[in-house]
Amino acid sequence: SQTIHQWPATLVQPVGSPLSLECTVEGTSNPNLYWYRQAAGRGLQLLFYSVGIGQISSEVPQNLSASRPQDRQFILSSKKLLLSDSGFYLCAWSGGAASQYFGPGTRLLVL
């Protein structure tokens, strides 16, 4: 069966520091991959999605970037974190249909 992992689970970083969040999927090949952010009091906002290695689509302009170096690996990065980057980051995958399956999330606090 398919599983999706995210790490770290929790991260506290100073303003201006870099960021790297990792998401991996097991048990499927060529998944569509997604990064969402949930800020306090708001719903989930789509940040990036990828339909294949090296293919990244960005939904909103921001301080973050995404990369997909391998078929089942999706990375969310920043060169310099801002306070407003704090939030709960969720990775999700789909097999081509619209239904998406979510990882456990990473809680990021920027101080």
Partner 1 sequence: AQRVTQPEKLLSVFKGAPVELKCNYSYSGSPELFWYVQYSRQRLQLLLRHISRESIKGFTADLNKGETSFHLKKPFAQEEDSAMYYCALSGGGADGLTFGKGTHLIIQP
Smaller CB separation from partner 1, 26 or 59: 59
In the complex with partner 1, which residue's Cβ is closer, 18 or 52? 52
**Phi and psi at residue 47, in whole multiples of 5°?**
-100, -55
Nearest CA to 82 out of 107, 108, 63, 61 is that of: 63
Residue 45 vs 65, nearer CB to partner 1: 45
Report the Cα 1 to chain-centroid distance in Å: 21
Minimum distance from residue 31 beta carbon to partner 1 (Å): 10
* Residue whose C-alpha is closest to residue 108's, from 5, 48, 18: 18
Give the footprint of partner 1 on this chain (CB under 8 A).
32, 34, 36, 41-46, 49, 51, 59, 90, 94, 96, 98-105
